[in-house]
Structure 1
């Protein structure tokens, strides 16, 4: 009994429930997506995402690169924030935040349907604000990109996001956007 009480005391003193995000999406897709963030796997990346979300930086940001059968990418708070002075759909995907890039936090978590990963340039230590959500498994990304979370509800909303065209999946016309991004516990 004493060991059980000690174990319960340790659990009670442990970290709070995992951080998450509620993302309200509008456009061809419409609804709320919930993401559980893996602060135990990628603490610096999760801290960045939650910092930007709490500051409202993701509100209004478009899905600029969407490849059918692969993934939907968003999070360019510099050029991809619809309604802002800096919004430029042609440049969306080239920007980030005014915070420094992050060192990679690679893990053994696989890229499966619903996995959320950090986008980056060719340098593994260049992730900043952009992230992507997988439509399907992509084993070639395993160990090459930082996994930050997974969609736990609203995958039907992700599936409905307007697809891009061409090899790079650039979205033409009116893109879907994250109306609000709220940090949850």
Structure 2
């Protein structure tokens, strides 16, 4: 009986120590590469991917830090596909070119490194692959057909339920807006 208790205690201690070691081994959030996007229903956390798209991530952070995404609508929201926003005009034709932000060249990566899955954030563009400016989209579902066609710059890591509640439409009758977007390091 004593041996069973000792064995159970050792097993439990090993599990506790294993959990502690795993928690300690997990890296802290990279505050410089984490966005907090506040929507009407709450906050969405997006982990930026400078390893995949350094120029696009830099642009997203710069526009965010200048408050240029605050108040912009989600102008194209397709059920089962994605929510698109980041256009200051709210029409799907705008960007910040008039404020000196040139279009960005595509930063495609092999699908083996990153794929369009639920919560993936990509840059919107025209038919020209090198025309991304400020507009972006967040996937509601996987979209493998977008791999190597659009630049991936981030991944929703918390708050996807808030993204799921964005009003649908092209454009929505009453579009939801980004209340505020911040880089976590700045908070």
Bin for the TM-score computed over the shorter chain:
0.7 to 0.9
Q: Distance in 1 between matches of 2:73 and 2:85?
A: 6
Q: Distance in 2 between matches of 1:17 and 1:40?
A: 15
Give the TM-score normalised by structure 2. Answer: 0.78
- Structure 2 residue 172 is the aligned partner of structure 1 residue 161: no
Q: Contact 1:18–1:38 (CA<8 Å) still a contact in 2?
A: no
- Compared with structure 1, are the counterparts of its residues 18 and 93 closer, same or farther at alpha carbon in structure 2 (3 Å cutoff)? same
Is the helix fraction higher in 1 or 2?
2
Q: Distance in 2 between matches of 1:33 and 1:74?
A: 14
Q: Give runs of ≥4 in structure 1 deviating > 4 Å.
A: none
Q: Distance in 1 between matches of 2:157 and 2:140?
A: 13
User: Which residue in 1 is equivalent to 2:102?
Assistant: 100
User: Which residue in 1 is equivalent to 2:38?
Assistant: 24
Structure 1 residue ranges without an equivalent (≥5): 1-15, 81-91, 165-169
- The size of the alignment, in residue pairs, is 150
User: Which residue in 2 is equivalent to 1:182?
Assistant: 182
Q: Distance in 2 between matches of 1:124 and 1:97?
A: 17
User: Which residue in 2 is equivalent to 1:39?
Assistant: 50
Alpha-carbon shift at residue 172 of structure 1 (Å): 3.2
Q: Contact 1:18–1:39 (CA<8 Å) still a contact in 2?
A: no
Give the TM-score normalised by structure 1. Answer: 0.78
Alpha-carbon shift at residue 17 of structure 1 (Å): 5.4
Work out which of the two has the higher radius of gyration on C-alpha atoms and give 1 or 2.
2
